[in-house]
Amino acid sequence: MDIIKIFFRFPDSELNLVIRFILRLFVFEYVLSYLFVYYYCYYKLCILLGWIVLQVEKYYKRALDIYVHRLGPDDPNVAKTKNNLVRACN
């Protein structure tokens, strides 16, 4: 503590204020970095989930086309695939 007093040449009250200010800056910087990482990961996760939904939609549409072509539009598998497609898109 004496080295800090000599180095900064502050009285005790001002030194305490400076130390508190520096600690608050570190805490604030830590909180900001945490929030940045949290929202950046959330953003990337949303992009990934959007890409997954697009892929799922593409494969359900392909399966629906195959089922309609092979089994006909009144088959129960066609109805199930339509239902899954609607659920995947919502």
Distance set, CA 24 to CA 4, 15, 19, 49 (Å)? 18, 14, 9, 37
Q: Which residue has the tokens 């608050």?
A: 24
In this prediction, residue 36 carries a pLDDT of 87
- The Cα 28–Cα 39 span in angstroms is 16
Domain of 26 in residue numbering reads as 2-89
Tally the domains of the chain: 1
- The Cα 1–Cα 3 span in angstroms is 5
In this prediction, residue 31 carries a pLDDT of 80
Do 49 and 88 touch, CB atoms closer than 8 A? Answer: no
pTM of the predicted model, to two decimals? Answer: 0.52
Q: Which pLDDT tens digit goes with each residue over 15-74? A: 677 777 777 777 777 888 888 888 888 888 889 888 888 888 888 889 889 989 998 889
